[in-house]
A and B are shown apart, each in its own frame.
Chain A
Amino acid sequence: MIAELGLAVLWMAAALAVLQLVAGVLALRPEGRQIAGLVRPVAVMQGVLVAAALAALITLFLTTDLSVKLVAENSHSMKPFIFKLAGTWGNHEGSMLLWVTIMAVAGGFVALIEKRLPENTLIATLAGQSFVSLGFYAFLLLSSNPFQRLPEPAPEGAGLNPLLQDIGLAFHPPTLYVGYVGLSIAFSFAVGALVTRDVGPAFARAMRPWVLGAWIFLTLGITAGSYWAYYTLGWGGWWFWDPVENASLMPWLAATALLHSCSVLASRNALKAWTVMLGVIAFSMSMVGTFLVRSGILTSVHAFAVDPERGSFILALLAIYIGGALTLFGLRASTVTEGARFSFVSREASLVFNNVMLCGILGIVLVGTLYPLLTEAMGVKVSVGPPYFNPVSAVFAIPMMLVMGVGPLLRWRQDSLDGKRAGRVTLPVGVCALLSAAVLLGVELMAPQIKLLPALGLAIAAGLAPASFLPLRGRNLRRTPLATWGMVFGHFGIAVALFGMASESAFSTERLAAMRPGDTQQVGPYTVKLEGIGPVAGPNWTALEATVSASYAGAAPAILHPQARTFSNPPGNRTESALKTRWNGQLYAVLGEEGEDSRWQMRFWWKPFVPMIWYGGALIAFGGLLALLGRVAADVRRLVATGKIAYRRSRKAQLGVGQ
């Protein structure tokens, strides 16, 4: 019953999306004025209905209703609660439903609260949003119905891919999804603005909270995904330039660029066409990412999501939306008027520089990801890895981070670096630059074995960390807007993460050893001893577990338990690494296979300051959150103020009548 209800409301939501599109398009014509009032309520109702459909699917998973095909294929009655919940979106159909849900709820929310945009632009935006949603409704209802029943109920479910049975991963996909779909709102805003030729500060201000929100979730999703890969895959690395990782990084890069160009457009009414194009590109990258993951066109660790037929469907949607939006852009962008001008030394110029560099990195990652496919088309097989990505992206990343230290200090429109401004800008930045240079020199003199990139990373992090706080200098800290604090934390987070990355590649030590119980090994400052190996069992797995005591520089030992888990339904293996985190780094232990002579393959890494990578990521997201709160608070204040003014006016009018 619940499944049928879910399917019914999903159809109704799809029907409302059609209505929203048709009414939206008609309302934009002069003769369709009366219908304009329909668009907002329909968008809200569509969000409510599709949320109900998702709730129905979640209920089915929580109660493990094995008469539903999707539940039988992806869940198991013995699974812990949290993985039953995560099972809802840990599969293709469920994740597509989650996708349309987030999209429709976000659209409903826009319809409910957005009051700043001209009504026409908003209606065009909502129509665009429903147009995009419709493709996904079609996908769900025509080719991947999540509510399909089995002819007869299965006796037991098949379970969830063991790699996905991890708490971090249970929430990694929905986090990224919120990010991707948030960008769809930015996309719809961009399309709406192109349709009505109304690109200006109001458009940027309306779009900015959505971009910020999406960007926060993308940042968190990427950070969590990176940490998950780090401790689950047991390779000791935190970023592999895997196609799927790249697929999540590309929208983030585009969204970061969009965020910055949005603020130029909002404050200075410049970079109009550029901002609109980034709005289109950011969501395009989300869809390209989804396509690359789902189609299996590139081999990757995420191969569990692969199905060529679905890939073709997403590709068709991609062609319609992205091709359509870019065609619209080509036709209309020339009619978007030129924005305000600015000089070479100004905040706008530094933001443009940042944008160009971010797009450069985006291009590098996109080319690198597609390169194996490209060369295969020419008959050569290659695989592209860190030797390409690291140095080539650094070519753009390093200048960008240098300008990041200066840009926030510059004034809008025009600034100078000498005279009165020398004390505010040139001097403090110079001090930070000296700090960087000193660190670089120190590293080269004292540890020449460290490669160039990590050394540069350490140096830039040392300069960027203090430089990111410079915008606060000379300000009344209690009156500094939240958005400024957000920027400070975001930039500081970049420095922290950069420090973690550089330190990881500069100072990590690895030890691979065949050990018998009782053997000891030295790895970095740690002395590790294999105490024993025994079997353990979990709710749906069994494992061999090593007991390792690790003592840091002679201190009292800590006990670690790396495991090699075997899952029974579905069958599969996973290594569960064990981590010991200190303030200055992490010990990483992996249990390998048993050798011929009853010795065990053990791998240990000492990774100084590696957690900084993820602390940095969290800081960046926190910065985004502060900025979002600041923007939203300002909007709410403005709404309240307009409300009050209107109320006073109406009271005055009433009193006037009364006299």
Chain B
Amino acid sequence: MNDRTPAKKPGLALWLPLILFAGFFALVIWGLVRPADREVASAFIGKPLPQFDLPPAIDERPGLATSVFKAGKPRLLNVFASWCVPCAVESPQLAQLAGQGVEIDGVAIRDRKEDVARFLAQNGNPFARIGKDDLSQVQLAIGSSGVPETFVVDGKGVIRYQHIGDIRPEDVPMILSKLEEAGK
């Protein structure tokens, strides 16, 4: 058996690692830029929201605490960030929901006050309350792995539905029916 070093024919074999690495690189680049829709069946449906009390993300709206969700009426909890493009894409749908009387609360992930304010000024502000979650602590505690995500929470503070990714126009009736279901 010879040494594995091909001395006479350097050939393609020596470039194989680089080629494989290029493949890996292309794959993860694609992975980084792909739209964030990871449909994982949520383990948090049917679970109560964890205890949290977030400071306000902007001056115009109060912060967000768990107690808000126990007032008897189903609400939406929207996890968003000013740096998230799909969040801007879903804002007309949130506005539409808010226009139909749905109460929506927001959690701004890893964000700055001025950025959130600018984002809301550009895209409209459907939120009753916005909590500031700089370390994704509440986000992780409610089982959300990305932005945007929207939770239907019933009047007792129990998570009824988790929508991963942006709310498309065709999702709006479904969200409304989930809210209705949660209100029963």
> Which residues in A have some Cβ–Cβ distance to B below 8 Å?
73-74, 158, 161, 270-274, 277, 280-281, 284, 288, 291, 295-297, 299, 303-304, 306-308, 311-312, 315, 318-319, 322-323, 326-327, 329-330, 333-334, 336-344, 349, 352, 370, 373-374, 376-377, 381, 566, 568, 570-573
Q: How near does chain A come to B40, taking the closest CB pair, in angstroms?
A: 7
CB distance from A489 to the nearest CB of B (A): 28
B18 near A329 with CB under 8 A, answer: yes
Distance between Cα atoms of A327 and B22 in the complex (Å): 11
Contact A280 B29 (CB under 8 A): no
Question: Is B174's beta carbon under 8 Å from chain A?
Answer: no
Do residues B50 and A573 form an inter-chain contact, with CB atoms below 8 A?
yes
**Residues on B with beta carbons closer than 8 Å to the beta carbon of A288:** 24
With A271-B3, A329-B17, A330-B15 given, is the CB distance from A373 to B134 under 8 Å? Answer: no
Tell me the nearest residue of chain B to A342, going by C-beta. B1
Ranked nearest first, the 4 interchain pairs of A and B with the lowest CB-CB distance are A334-B10, A338-B7, A326-B18, A570-B137
Residues of chain A with a CB closer than 8 A to B27's CB = 370, 373-374, 377
Q: Which residues of A contact B24 (CB under 8 A)?
A: 288, 370
Given A272-B3, A338-B5, A573-B50: A295 and B14 interface contact (C-beta under 8 Å): no
Residues of chain A lying within 8 A (CB to CB) of residue B134: 73, 158
**B43 at interface (Cβ–Cβ under 8 A)?**
no
Known: A273-B5, A299-B38. 14 other contacts (CB 8 A): A271-B4, A299-B40, A307-B110, A315-B29, A323-B18, A329-B17, A330-B18, A338-B7, A339-B5, A341-B2, A370-B24, A373-B28, A373-B31, A376-B31
| Chain B residues with CB under 8 A of A315 | 25, 28-29, 32
Question: Is B18 a contact partner of A572 (Cβ separation < 8 A)?
Answer: no
Given A315-B29, A340-B3, A571-B50, do A326 and B21 touch, yes or no (CB 8 Å)?
A: yes
CB distance A308 to B32 under 8 Å?
Answer: yes
Q: Are A311 and B32 in contact (CB under 8 A)?
A: yes
Partner of B10, one of A326, A333, A341: A333
Given contacts A329-B18, A376-B34, A572-B141, contact A337 B7 (CB under 8 A): yes
A304 to B30, CA, bound (A): 22
Bound: A338/B4 CA distance, A: 8
How many whole Å from B42's CB to the nearest CB in chain A? 12
**Contact bitstring B17-59, A, C-beta under 8 A = 1, else 0:** 1100110110111111010001110000000001110000000
A352 contacts B21, CB within 8 Å?
Answer: no
Which chain B positions have C-beta within 8 A of A343?
1
Taking a contact as CB atoms closer than 8 A, the residue among B5, B22, B145 that contacts A274 in the complex is: B5
For residue B138, CB closer than 8 A to chain A, the reply is yes
Q: Which residues of A contact B121 (CB under 8 A)?
A: none
For the complex, what is the distance from the CA of A281 to the CA of B14, rounded to whole Å?
13
Contact B30 A377 (CB under 8 A): yes
Binding site for A on B (CB under 8 A): 1-7, 10, 14-15, 17-18, 21-22, 24-25, 27-32, 34, 38-40, 50-52, 110, 134-138, 140-141, 145
Query: What is the minimal beta-carbon distance from A221 to any residue of chain B, in angstroms?
Result: 23
Q: A338-B3, A343-B1, A571-B138 are in contact. Are A333 and B29 (CB under 8 A)?
A: no
Partner of B32, one of A297, A299, A326, A327: A297
Q: For A271, A274, A280, A571, which residue has the most chain B Cβ atoms within 10 angstroms?
A: A571
Contact A291 B28 (CB under 8 A): yes
- Pair A304/B136 contact, Cβ less than 8 Å: yes
Question: When chains A and B are docked, how far (Å) is the Cα of A337 from the Cα of B8?
Answer: 9
A residues in contact with B138, CB < 8 Å:
571
A297 touches B21 (CB 8 A): no
Question: Which residues of the other chain, B, contact A570 by a CB distance below 8 angstroms?
Answer: 135, 137
Whether the Cβ atoms of A336 and B5 lie closer than 8 Å is: yes
Report the Cα distance A519→B103, complex, angstroms: 46
Q: B50 — nearest CB in chain A belongs to which residue?
A: A571
Question: B14 touches which one: A307, A330, A381, A572 (CB < 8 A)?
Answer: A330
**B31 CB contacts on chain A under 8 angstroms:** 297, 373, 376-377
CB distance from B63 to the nearest CB of A (A): 14
Contact across chains for B135 and A73 when beta carbons are under 8 A apart: yes
Shortest C-beta distance, B54 to chain A (Å), equals: 10
Given the interface pairs A374-B27, A571-B137, the reply to whether A295 lies near B1 with Cβ below 8 Å is no
Cα–Cα distance between A329 and B14 once the two chains are bound (Å): 7
15 A–B pairs (Cβ distance < 8 Å), ordered by A: A158-B134, A271-B3, A272-B5, A273-B14, A274-B5, A280-B17, A281-B17, A288-B24, A306-B136, A311-B32, A338-B7, A370-B24, A377-B30, A570-B135, A572-B140
List of B residues within 8 angstroms of A374 by Cβ:
27
Partner of A297, one of B18, B28, B51, B137: B28
A73 → B minimal CB distance (Å): 6
When chains A and B are docked, how far (Å) is the Cα of A311 from the Cα of B31? 11
A residues near B17, Cβ cutoff 8 Å: 277, 280-281, 326, 329-330
Complex formed: what's the CA distance from A295 to B29 in Å? Answer: 11
Give B53's nearest chain A residue, CB to CB: A571
Chain A: minimal CB distance from B112 (Å) = 12
Q: Which residues of A contact B32 (CB under 8 A)?
A: 295, 297, 308, 311-312, 315
B21 touches A284 (CB 8 A): yes
Which residues on the A side are within 8 Å of B40 (C-beta)?
Answer: 299
List residues of chain B with CB within 8 A of the CB of A311.
32
Across-interface contacts of A573 in B (CB, < 8 A): 50, 141
Specify the chain B residue showing the minimal Cβ separation from A297: B31
Chain B residues within 8 Å of A272, by CB: 3, 5
Give A318 to B4 CA distance when docked, in angstroms: 27
Complex interface: chain B residues within 8 A of A161 (CB)? 137
Closest chain B residue to A309, Cβ basis: B83
Please judge, given known A-B contacts A303-B145, A308-B32, whether A352 and B4 are in contact too, CB under 8 Å: yes
A335 to chain B minimum Cβ distance, whole angstroms, is 8
Q: How far is the CB of A46 from chain B (nearest CB, A)?
A: 29
Check B21–A271 contact: CB distance below 8 A.
no
Chain B nearest CB: distance from A530 CB in Å? 24
A570 to B22, CA, bound (A): 40
A334 proximity list for chain B (CB < 8 A):
6-7, 10, 14
Bound-complex Cα distance A507 to B127 (A): 54
CB within 8 A of B3: which of A295, A339, A566?
Answer: A339
Query: Cα distance A377–B34 when bound, in Å?
Result: 9
Distance A540 CA – B17 CA, assembled complex (angstroms): 49
Q: Are B28 and A295 in contact (CB under 8 A)?
A: yes
Nearest chain B residue, comparing its CB with the CB of A308:
B32
Chain A minimum-CB-distance residue to B26: A377
CA A573 – CA B138 in complex, angstroms? 12
Are B14 and A333 within 8 A (Cβ)? yes
Contacts of B137 in A (CB 8 A): 158, 161, 570-572
Contact check, A322 vs B14: say whether CB atoms are below 8 A apart: no
With both beta carbons as reference points, the residue of chain A lying nearest to B12 in the complex is identified as: A330
Known: A299-B38, A303-B145, A304-B136. A323 touches B7 (CB 8 A): no
Chain A contacts for B14, CB-based, 8 A:
273, 329-330, 333-334
What residues on B are CB-neighbors of A327 within 8 Å?
A: 18
Question: In the assembled complex, how far is the CB of residue A190 from the closest CB belonging to chain B, in whole angstroms?
Answer: 12
A280 to B136 alpha-carbon distance, docked (Å): 35
Q: Given A323-B18, A570-B135, is A299 in contact with B145 using a C-beta cutoff of 8 Å?
A: yes
